[in-house]
Amino acid sequence: MKKKPFVTLEKLQEITEKYPTPFHLYDEKGIRENAKALKEAFAWNKGFKEFFAVKATPNPYLIQILQEYGCGCDCSSMTELMLSKAIGCKKGDIMFSSNDTPEAEFRYANEIGGIINLDDITHIKAVEKAVGYIPKTISCRYNPGGVFKISNDIMDNPGDAKYGMTTEQIFEAFRTLKAKGAENFGIHAFLASNTVTNEYYPMLAKVMFELAVKLQKETGAHIGFINLSGGIGIPYRPDQTPNDIRVIGEGVRKVYEEVLVPAGMGDVAIYTELGRFMMGPYGCLVTKAIHEKHTHKEYIGVDACAVNLMRPAMYGAYHHITVMGKEDQPCDRLYDITGSLCENNDKFAIDRYLPKIDMGDLLVIHDTGAHGFAMGYNYNGKLKSAEILLHEDGTFDMIRRAETPRDYFATFDCFPIYEKILEDEDRLYK
């Protein structure tokens, strides 16, 4: 089976005339359509809000598109908080879900109007020390432990995850926070990652809604919102069926009507914290075939590497590959598609059947719009690529320039060696 790229060969050739490969390319049309679909799927809930997981794609130009559809930001670090503030997030637009958090980050999150989502009961004291008081609106992250199943299939293992509070701890946390002045409470849980099933969110919602009813009844705390977090996945493989966000939204609505409404909690806002679902399919890594090697296997070397997309090297993740212009040719060549790092796991595909690849061919590596560029690093002194946004009208703009040696060596700017490096950069990177 095949995946169809959101960009044509002709358009890529036009883009590469201006911006050399490799680069990450994003589809504005797809991003907008998906954000609109999510908003419509949960329109039944008056207080619904998506807090986009900034860690997935920390590019302000892309996040600002989501802001047009009412999205806020889910942050987990100081720099993500700074980015969110810089693009105009106001009080109530930021959810700060972090762990092992420095006091300065709690302080700054509160200062800019972020909702602090406590990962652990011991963080109550940390927030109180950092801020000087307990904010009136606050959230707690829940981890029920054990495994999370849909039917007989194990979806994930929350009991092995470092995040969240136990059932006993979250009840104690609510009582403590209420006694310290908190007035508006939220609960949050992330029990499974990248699920490709419409059943996950409704099942998670049932767990969370039932917990909310018990918490409000037993602690007297007013629960204003329930954050279903992320976990809605995307079909990386061409034989997978995509999630239907409207079916998911309707499934959550039914559970809401069954559990919360009879308990007198029909005013609770539903929050989501999606990253991969919001951006994943609407980004791709564009790279060029620059070497071929015929040894014990057939290798195609490209000008991208794991610095540009870490997921396949890190845990063997599958990303579909299209050889542009050869979509209709038979996939009768068995290749490993490799990058140039001095690491044997720097491979985008292993034993992948593809059409015959010639040097200079453009390859599109699909579904890199989330956890693609964001997970990049600089091993081997490799530099991160540019990011390009393809607009709905076919025009395109650079939304992040490619790194240069000046960026890589920037933290040496207090030493004499830096000036020598700049001299070479000026000569080599004209």
- For the annotated catalytic residues, the residue numbers are 342
Q: Does the N-terminal peptide bond of residue 22 adopt cis geometry, omega within 30 degrees of 0?
A: yes
Q: Which two tokens stand for residue 132?
A: 């000087």
For residue 260, what is the DSSP state?
I
Q: Which two tokens stand for residue 304?
A: 């991208």
Instruction: Note whether 21 and 303 are within 8 A (CB).
Output: yes
Residue 248 burial class via C-beta count within 10 angstroms: exposed 0-12, middle 13-18, buried 19 and up: buried
CA distances from 228 to 11, 138, 141, 196, 201 (A): 38, 15, 10, 16, 7
* Partners of 139 in beta bridges: 117, 186
Instruction: State the Cα–Cα distance between residues 322 and 355, nearest whole angstrom.
Output: 9
Instruction: State the Cα–Cα distance between residues 10 and 36, nearest whole angstrom.
Output: 29
Q: For residue 81, give the nearest of 115, 44, 48 by alpha carbon.
A: 115
Instruction: State the Cα–Cα distance between residues 34 and 40, nearest whole angstrom.
Output: 10
Those residues whose C-beta lies under 8 Å from the C-beta of residue 316, and which sit 6 or more positions away, are none
Q: Which two tokens stand for residue 105?
A: 């980050």
Residue 208 burial class via C-beta count within 10 angstroms: exposed 0-12, middle 13-18, buried 19 and up: buried
Those residues whose C-beta lies under 8 Å from the C-beta of residue 89, and which sit 6 or more positions away, are 72, 73, 112, 113
DSSP code string of 215-236: HHHHH---EEEEE--S-B----
Q: For residue 59, give the nearest of 359, 291, 384, 336 by alpha carbon.
A: 384
Instruction: Note whether 392 and 32 are within 8 A (CB).
Output: yes
